[in-house]
A and B are shown apart, each in its own frame.
Chain A
Amino acid sequence: MISLNVNGKTHSLDVPPDMPLLWAIRDSVGLTGTKFGCGIAQCGACTVHVDGKAVRSCSMPVSAAAGKRVTTIEAIGNTAAGKKIQQAWIELDVPQCGYCQSGQIMSASALLASNPKPSDADIDAAMSGNICRCGTYPRIRAGIKKAAGALAARSSGAAKEA
């Protein structure tokens, strides 16, 4: 039995230890927001956070995630960066078919949480593992910058209040 903490809730899963974390999340825990795109770490659709760091869940055995904090798209809005990213995504109508966007948002949230003012080069470096067949890249870039601005406004606002 593998004990998995997903979005703050603990699940006891009767799954083989070498099952990819992706399928444990989708089929065993039942959270389908995280997508399967390639299974070989080439597309980024499966991106989740493990202990706050972006991970391609298709490439991590579930045993390696046991005892760690797994965060998926369903809960990333509870983080400051994730919330701003999602808001920016809606404001700019970033998604088209939307299939890649869970992964895009998870990667973008990880970037923003660690780098509050990413440059174009930073965005390139951080996001190149997430591909989008619809080609929403320009809006993804704009969305990250918009969210960064919103995060900055939020923290400067908080600083003023303090």
Chain B
Amino acid sequence: METIENSDLLSSSRRDFLKLSVTAAIGGGLLLGFGLPARAVISDESSTGAPFAPNAFLRIDPDGRVTLIMNQVEMGQGTYTSMPMLLAEELEVGLDQVELEHAPPDDKLYANPLVGFQMTGASCSVRMMYQPLRKAGATARIMLIAAAAQRWNVDPASCQAAKGMVSHPATGRRISYGDLAETAAKLPVPAEVTLKDPKDFTLIGTPAKRLDSPEKVNGTAKYGIDVRLPGLKIATLAASPVLGGKVASLDDSKAKAIPGVRQIVRLDDLVAVVADHMWAAKQGLAALTIRWDDGPNGKISTQDVVEGLDAASRQPGVVARKQGAPDSALSGAAKRIEAVYQVPSWRTPPWS
């Protein structure tokens, strides 16, 4: 098993990876930390030279592969297309030129600016990542142009970037991002970058094709249920059906006898069956005899909850916002309509 020592990170061959902090004001401040020591070790084993990775959101290998790292989870809402669009627009690559990688868990590197930790939700991926990802893409583009300009000994302002290539129109020279990666990786990361004028957008604002469709139609898209690691076991569990309830008694003798069942775990309020595969885990669960002590909430029914909510709703509430003169408007109205709408408690966790 590999161990990544601190000394490795600071050795001369790792000096290519600079740390950079950028503070951007997005309704509350944002700190983007950079530097990818762990990833550097992994990718170094496979590529010929050092990849260019000026920030946590993209990586360009010397073989030309452009990898975008996705910090916002794709659940069907389209982040795996919209986030790449933000990066690719400023980076000047086509969506057909990129590969996507799930960001690893890292609250510092991949924090959602709205909440300060790694989270996807609240309909805020595009809003929150609009500036940071464009900046990340623009930073890389500027460094790649600088690398080309350095190589050609020309003014960076005379160079252009498009579709993963830097060109020098005056002399007709062109060079790919892949060929610039090693050089760019040695350059300082600029603190300030200018983003594109929206009138120059070629990607943002266009109906791009989803990048995740192909893997979702051929069975290769991996969901939580599909994760396979060496020695991974599958567990099913029975939890107290009532909040605050406990396992009063457990007979797991039949479950233990099922081939493939490895372990029964008994906690205060749940019992888990750990097995080699799902069928054994399912059979094991069905073979348990559990007696629950429902505890103090055992007698509460849905009706109790409904009545409780009804009673509470008749109490004076907190004023969230006042606009106009509602009391006089209501009392002076020609027609008043009162209605009560009830919906059941709904939870909608994503599938998978």
Contacts and interface: CB of A to CB of B under 8 A. Distances in A.
Of B75, B76, B228, B282, most buried by chain A (CB within 10 Å of CB) is B76
Contacts of A156: none
Given A35-B225, A90-B213, A23 B278 contact: yes
A95 B279 contact: no
Contacts of A72: 219
A25 to B, nearest CB: 11
Interface stretch (A49-57, A97-105, A116-124): A97-105
Chain B: interface secondary structure? loop
A32 interface: yes
A26 B278 contact: yes
A73 interface: yes
B216 interface: yes
Contacts of B278: 23, 26-27, 36
B219 A102 contact: yes
Nearest to A75: B219
A107 interface: no
B338 to A, nearest CB: 33
Interface residues of A, number: 37
B217 A19 contact: no
B213 A93 contact: yes
Nearest to A96: B76
A32 B226 contact: yes
Contact of A98 (B216, B225, B228): B216
**Closest 4 A/B residue pairs (Cβ):** A33-B219, A97-B76, A98-B216, A96-B76
9 contacts: A15-B279, A16-B259, A26-B278, A27-B277, A33-B218, A35-B223, A73-B218, A94-B213, A97-B76
Interface of A: 15-16, 19-20, 23, 26-28, 30-37, 39, 72-74, 77, 86, 89-90, 93-102, 105, 133-134
Given A27-B279, A86-B218, A96-B78, 18 more contacts: A16-B259, A23-B277, A26-B278, A32-B226, A33-B218, A33-B219, A33-B220, A35-B223, A36-B225, A39-B282, A74-B218, A89-B217, A95-B212, A97-B76, A97-B350, A98-B221, A102-B219, A133-B351
